Amino acid sequence: MALSHNLGFPRIGRDRELKKALEAYWRGELSEVGLRSTGQQLRATHWQVQKEAGIDLLPVGDFAWYDQVLTHSLMFGVIPERFRPKSGKPTLETLFAMARGTVAAEHGSSCCGGAHAQEMTKWFDTNYHYLVPEFTRDQQFALSWEQLFEEVKEAIALGHNVKPVVIGPLTYLWLGKAKGEEFDRLELLESLLPVYGEVLQRLAGLGVEWVQIDEPILSLDLPQDWKNAFERAYNLLQRDPLKKLVATYFAGLEDNLGLAASLPVDGLHIDLVRAPEQFPGILDRLPAYKVLSLGIVNGRNVWRTDLNQALEILQQAQERLGDRLWVAPSCSLLHSPVDLGREDRLDEELKSWLAFAVQKCEEIAVLTLALNDPNNSQVQAALELSRSVQATRAASPRIHKPEVQARLAAVTARDSQRHSPFETRIKLQREHLQLPLFPTTTIGSFPQTSAIRLARQSFKAGKISEAEYTEAMYSEIRHAVEVQENLGLDVLVHGEAERNDMVEYFAEQLDGYAFTRFGWVQSYGSRCVKPAVIYGDLSRPKAMTVEWIRYAQGLTNKVMKGMLTGPVTMLMWSFPRDDISREQQARQLALAIRDEVVDLERAGIRIVQIDEAAFREGLPLRKAQWNNYLNWATEAFRLCASGVADETQIHTHMCYSEFNDVIESIAAMDADVITIETSRSDMELLDAFEAFDYPNEIGPGVYDIHSPRVPDTREMVQLLRKAARRIPAQRLWVNPDCGLKTRGWAETEAALVNMVVAAQTLRKEFA
Ligand code: GLN
Ligand code: ZN
């Protein structure tokens, strides 16, 4: 019999119960007992839902109070000195301190006795963020946290057939960072493994048969010593009890296939959604005793699986594997929304195309049933339904827009080229814009005050009219313009008061996007995002931002910058279609945004900024695929930016600090000006600009907007001097490192006053 299992279920709850409970607990409005009971109820509900869907083997250990990597750090006793309890075992308080810092740190610095939180970073190429383990050279490991065992007992007591999930030793070490003196994290492997041994012993004692050991780093380009360490580690773990399933996901195994297939464990899971080409080759590489788990249902998107197509692959696998075949989602369902059943306002047709975590479990179960009992009537009905869903979706006129396709087909290479090269453009732009040396500007948003949010809510709820709402926003714009004029900034912005979110705002105005009400996915801790769904060809029925920007420009003689979100970021922060490539979707978005850029120019706007905050995060996990991505991503950006005259200046903004490996592509985007985040890394990032002669203008962020701290002029002057040593002064801009929407007005004005003085100082020095 083939077996169905799940790699992990979303923990947040279909109504975000965990988020609400956590936040109430942090505010002191819910007791620890109350919080724990919410967690317990959620786990019980989630196991029950999966069992009812028909999953044979349920994951345990996928629940976390904040983050599963953090839970492992507690389990292994990897608790940085600053959080270590004076006596006794770590508590929930220890866990939340590691995740969020202690009081003084929450207010933005660690100067006053507070401990700063552990660093947080993206979990592979997802939008989930984990807490980076901190290792010291003399790191000791000791079993220090009972959560996994308690939850296994809990599930068994409820009568479930469970498979605990742990992060494998190599992935865990890989995800961490060496603190203090530099050393090789692999040196810690020998002392970490005995703790895994203890964990497996304890689980065996509870009557568990299988354990899932996640080693997603097997889908990365691994250095040779890490590959070697896999063999060493699993040879040692082999002595410990339990059947072990090593799980890999997010990309193909490629050069690690031989290694992964031959590890001395009892099963291997591979991701056939991200890397379908692994099949059927994998069947020849797998030792005859091993279970193969095929991740055939997409754990990272919202579309229904084509069951007939999936079944064909599974049947082929079954012929070779028999009972050794398991059916699974591609990765943990942590990355998909919880329950489509909760969506009461989606139209029925669109809804029939979608599957969230609960529905994905049903798909896995019915595929397994189809293998075990092909003539079962439920199976026949499901296959038939899937066939018809796929057919209607493929033929649906709401997906295929001939105008969009015709326009895309007519795009030529010229369309993604500005008329003249940068050197020509910049001369014209300088004449046209008449800006001083070291021009000052901001990244776009100004504080999103509670008054703004209230106005938006009232408008959405129908409590105020459109005219009243527009007037409220106009009044915010007037205020923003007045403040900027008083500050003496050179290039102004309208402040983005009317935008809830930089992607959603545009998605709501494009055809081809749909919105869920409850499609939340955990981003970190209690924070969730609700990405919009791209379901059809994308187009812009009418101008999206022109009226706001035109109004703002009308209030001032200074240059007003138009503000848009770029095609790559729109795509990365949405659920994309699965029936056409990401590249094609990016091109459709590019054409829609191009029209907006051209309309802004026509309305007299001389500078347009197109934000590409997510440009770098689109990079594939494997280096070999980088070029392909970078080519289409830069091309999409250029396509949206190249419809304007040479005099119109195009800016872009990116919010991260690792540029070295993509700097050439950033140059290839050919924006006239790029503003970037540098202040936190003390302009270190500009090293990239030293090694590579970046040709266009740059605004390296001179202060960190992520903290309410007001930087003084002196530090900004120093940063600018540092920048001017690497980049010619004529090409430097002066700006904060990101938008100001999360800040208050008082600190924003105070910081900008100092920033303007810093720019004036530099102007004198370079006059
Ligand atoms: N223009 C946006 C803002 O200022 C940019 C935000 C971002 O890149 N994350 O808010
Ligand atoms: Zn930013």
- Angle at which helix 582-602 crosses helix 626-641, to 10 degrees, equals 20
- Ligand 1 atom having least distance to the Cα of 444: 4
CA distances for 469 relative to 342, 445, 448, 549, angstroms: 30, 18, 15, 16
The SS3 call for residue 269 is strand
Residue ID of nearest Cα to ligand 1 atom 6: 739
Residue ID of nearest Cα to ligand 1 atom 9: 613
Which ligand is nearest the CA of 569, by number? 1
Residues whose beta carbon lies within 6 Å of some atom of ligand 1? 443-445, 496, 502, 563, 611, 613, 653, 655, 738-739, 741
- Ligand 1 atom having least distance to the Cα of 613: 8
Instruction: Answer for the pair 36, 105: CB distance below 8 angstroms, yes or no.
Output: no
Which ligand is nearest the CA of 612, by number? 1
Please state, as a whole number, how many other Cβ atoms lie within 10 Å of the Cβ of residue 544. 20
Q: What are phi and psi of 28, to 5 degrees?
A: 80, 15
Residue 494 annotated in active site: no
The SS3 call for residue 476 is helix
- Angle at which helix 147-157 crosses helix 32-53, to 10 degrees, equals 50
Which ligand is nearest the CA of 503, by number? 1
Strand partners, 575: 533
Ligand 2 center–CA 762 separation, angstroms: 24
Q: Could you tell me which of 702, 417, 434, 738 has the C-alpha nearest to residue 559?
A: 434
Ligand 1 center–CA 411 separation, angstroms: 29
Residue ID of nearest Cα to ligand 1 atom 1: 444
Dihedral (CA of 543, 548, 552, 558) sign: negative
**Cβ burial, residue 36 (10 Å; 0-12/13-18/19+):** middle
Write 100-109 long-range contacts (CB < 8 A, 24+): 100/26, 100/525, 107/708, 108/707, 108/708, 108/709, 109/707, 109/709
Residue ID of nearest Cα to ligand 1 atom 10: 739
Run of H or E including 41: helix 32-53
Ligand 2 center–CA 568 separation, angstroms: 14
Ligand 1 center–CA 367 separation, angstroms: 44
**How many CA atoms does the CB half-sphere of 765 hold within 13 Å?**
15
Residues of the chain with pLDDT under 50: 105-112
What pLDDT score does 109 carry? 41
**How many CA atoms does the CB half-sphere of 333 hold within 13 Å?**
34
The SS3 call for residue 267 is strand
- Angle at which helix 68-75 crosses helix 92-100, to 10 degrees, equals 130
CA distance 758 to 719: 10
Pairing type for strands 267-271 and 243-247 reads parallel
Ligand 1 center–CA 653 separation, angstroms: 8
What pLDDT score does 685 carry? 63
- Ligand 1 atom having least distance to the Cα of 443: 4
CA distance 601 to 607: 8
Instruction: Answer for the pair 608, 564: CB distance below 8 angstroms, yes or no.
Output: yes
Catalytic residue among 107, 400, 432, 706: 706
The SS3 call for residue 11 is coil
- Phi/psi-derived region of residue 604, left when phi > 0, alpha when psi is between -120 and 50, beta in every other case: left
What pLDDT score does 110 carry? 40
Residue ID of nearest Cα to ligand 1 atom 4: 739
| 441, 445, 504, 705, best to mutate for ligand 1 pocket (most atoms within 8 Å of CB) | 445
Run of H or E including 71: helix 68-75
CA-angle at 750, arms to 748 and 755, nearest 5°: 90
Question: What contacts 297, CB < 8 A, 6 or more positions away?
Answer: 273, 305, 310, 328, 329, 330, 355, 360, 363, 364, 367
Tokens coding 165:
């999930």
| 443, 493, 548, best to mutate for ligand 1 pocket (most atoms within 8 Å of CB) | 443
Ligand 2 center–CA 656 separation, angstroms: 7
The SS3 call for residue 335 is helix
pTM: 0.95
Q: Could you tell me which of 160, 233, 739 has the C-alpha nearest to residue 501?
A: 739
- Ligand 1 atom having least distance to the Cα of 653: 8
Instruction: Answer for the pair 256, 218: CB distance below 8 angstroms, yes or no.
Output: yes
| 611, 741, 748, best to mutate for ligand 1 pocket (most atoms within 8 Å of CB) | 611
Ligand 2 center–CA 658 separation, angstroms: 13
What pLDDT score does 107 carry? 43
